[in-house]
Amino acid sequence: MNSGVEPTSHVRDDGVWGDGAWRLYGDEEDLPVPLAAALAAFAEHGYHGTSVRDIAARAGLSVPGLYHHYPSKQSLLQGLLERTMSDLLERSEAALAQAGPAPLEQFDAVVESLLRFHMYRRARAFVGSTETRSLEPDFRLQYIALRDRQQRMVDGIVEAGVASGVFSCPNPKDAARAVATMCVGVSTWYRPQGELGPDELVSRYLLIARQMVGVMPGA
């Protein structure tokens, strides 16, 4: 399986993200054709609202042609979400690793990486957040575990910020969840051709996110 364009990625040869590479996104087409077709269809009509025939047509294939590459409709969704979550996690872990040791630096880096992902990988992120319930139980467990790992990453940074006295919030876990929710929500309304560009959005939302965890404006 997986014929066709296996695209180049931003990952360096050794699998390590270069400095700031977690900010860079190629022009949407780093997916195999059938997965890109499934992504477009799922984002538009949802998993159950999409027929295999629709995906095949978008991919420029016949139905058996599509099944030659992926054994089932479910495997298309799983392949999509697997790439989505690992991309998101790799990027935010790279952002964290490359940030300084201060909680505020780490917070800014991870929030920025979340925001950029949900803008540049909008459709994928949207499908990932709306089609969890369409996953078969086994895979759903794996998937949720990755989501939790992402959330705990934010939790940890906020808790460290509170411990160091730079952040000020009585309930760090709630604040962290609210910040993550806000970032994920970007994928539901952001439009590339909208009035708000990525850099401008990042700076605005970073301010809001800092206030959510009680960072003094002058910090």
Closer to its own copies by Cβ: residue 142 or 168:
168
Q: Which of 18, 72, 211, 219 binds its own copies (CB under 8 A)?
A: 211
CA distance 173 to 151: 9
Residue with tokens 């411990």: 163
Buried/exposed code over 2-13 (b: 16+ C-beta within 10 A; e: otherwise): eeeeeeeebeee
Positions that interact with DNA (CB under 7 A): 1, 3-4, 50-54, 60-65, 67-69, 71-74
Counted residue by residue, the chain has a size of: 219
Asked if 204 interacts with its own copies (CB under 8 A), we say yes
Among 49, 65, 194, 197, binds its own copies (CB under 8 A): 49
Kindly tell me which of 34 and 103 has the beta carbon lying closer to DNA.
34
Pick what 72 binds: its own copies, DNA, none; C-beta below 5 to 8 Å, kind-dependent. Answer: DNA
Binding to its own copies (CB under 8 A): which residues in 70-99? none
Own/partner pairs, 59-62, CB within 8 angstroms, 24+ separation: 59/33, 59/34, 60/33, 61/33, 61/34
The nearer residue to its own copies, 16 or 144, going by C-beta atoms, is 144
Interior/surface letters 158-185, b for 16+ CB within 10 angstroms, e for the rest: bbbbbeeebbebeebeebbeebbebbbe
Residue 114-153 contact track with its own copies, rule CB under 8 A, x = bound = ----------------x--xx-------------------
Contact 137, 48 (CB under 8 A): no
Q: How many CB atoms lie within 10 A of CB 72?
A: 11
Angle between helices 103-120 and 73-98 (to 10 degrees): 150
Q: Does 198 bind its own copies (CB under 8 A)?
A: no
Residue 207 binds its own copies (CB under 8 A): yes
DSSP secondary structure letter of residue 184: H
Q: Which stretch binds its own copies (CB under 8 A): 55-63, 70-78, 155-163, 175-183?
A: 175-183
Residue 65 interacting entry, from its own copies, DNA, none, C-beta within 5 to 8 Å by type: DNA
Stretch that binds its own copies, among 68-76, 137-145, 157-165, 201-209 (CB under 8 A): 201-209
